[in-house]
Amino acid sequence: MFKLESYITPLLMGYLDKYVKLRQEDFQLSLWGGDAVLNNLDLRLDELEKIVQLPVMFQSGHIHELRLHVPWTKLGSEPVVITINTVECIVKVLVCIKQKTRRRTQATEDLPPGYLQSIVNRIVNNVTFIMNNLILKFVEDDIVLSVNIKSAECYSVDKEWNRAFVDLT
């Protein structure tokens, strides 16, 4: 019997593991119920620096709570929602930066083409990120500048910039 969870859960956890240091017990998590909560996670600082591409060096990064919501019965019409509650990052401003080349890798390249690939593409293109309570601390010697962002969201939109579930096929 074809179990969609056996393909989608490792895919989501693989994406997550790229940016967050997951523990072995986190990989045993089942998303079949639709929701999962991970607490007290450390961020992969080198990956953050690649994404941000600013003259800063991350000294620490911590997520207090990460929630995953997978609408299994409506994967073709509702997004997977990743909600991050309270992120704390401490960064140091760099004086001299080196140009880094930006590489994009296709995370789904090892999946066979066909129906499963189209489902995975649809899910990935419609993931919604919600971040609540982002705390950025810029540290320079004995000076600390703290920036707090209450909420930020990233979601797919249609041609008129309205929130929508998009199908790029």
Q: Is residue 160 part of a domain?
A: no
- What's the total number of domains in the chain? 1
Under 8 Å between Cβ of 45 and 60: yes
Q: Is residue 139 part of a domain?
A: yes
Count of residues making up the chain: 169
Q: Is residue 136 part of a domain?
A: yes
Residue 124 DSSP code: H
- Cα gap 81→76, rounded to integer Å: 14
37 or 91: whose pLDDT is higher?
Answer: 91
Q: Is the pLDDT at 46 greater than 50, yes or no?
A: yes
Show the domain range for 17.
Answer: 5-154
The 8 Å CB, 24+ separation contacts for 139-143 are 139/59, 139/90, 139/91, 139/92, 140/92, 140/93
72 or 87: whose pLDDT is higher?
Answer: 87
Q: Is residue 103 part of a domain?
A: yes
Q: Is residue 159 part of a domain?
A: no
Q: Which of 52-56, 134-138, 140-144 holds the top average pLDDT?
A: 134-138
Record the pTM: 0.74
Q: Is the pLDDT at 127 greater than 80, yes or no?
A: yes
Q: Is residue 164 part of a domain?
A: no
- What's the pLDDT score for residue 106? 47
pLDDT band for 30, please (50, 70, 90 cuts): low
